[in-house]
């Protein structure tokens, strides 16, 4: 279950279906229901083309899913819950 948000546009998409703060070409690649329903971190490894990975360095506690090009959904995953859900370009 998604417990906390960093990116308000993702939160508005999830709660209200409001896409105004997101790029239209990215909407179909944002997997909020998958994130919300995941029980284990291994569930994300099954989605081909989304390049699920753990970040490195000072962000080693975060996971990332590719949306498009350098844009990633990043998050912490603990005890079956998603925290600090963000959409960012960290490159």
Q: Which of 46, 53, 61, 91 is catalytic?
A: 91
49 neighbors 30 (Cβ within 8 angstroms): no
Residue 81 structure tokens: 């819950």
Whether 46 sits among the annotated catalytic residues: the reply is: no
Structure-token match 């079956």, residue found: 80
CA distances to 16, 82, 88 from 66, rounded to whole Å, are 23, 16, 10
- What residues act catalytically? 91
């Amino acid at each position: 279950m998604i417990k906390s948000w960093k990116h308000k546009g993702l939160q508005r998409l999830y709660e209200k279906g409001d896409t105004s703060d997101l790029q239209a070409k990215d909407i179909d690649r944002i997997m909020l229901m998958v994130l919300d329903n995941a029980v284990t971190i291994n569930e994300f490894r099954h989605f081909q083309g989304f390049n699920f990975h753990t970040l490195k360095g000072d962000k080693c506690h975060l996971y990332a899913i590719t949306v498009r090009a350098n844009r990633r959904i990043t998050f912490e995953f603990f005890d079956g819950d998603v925290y600090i859900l963000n959409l960012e370009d960290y490159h």
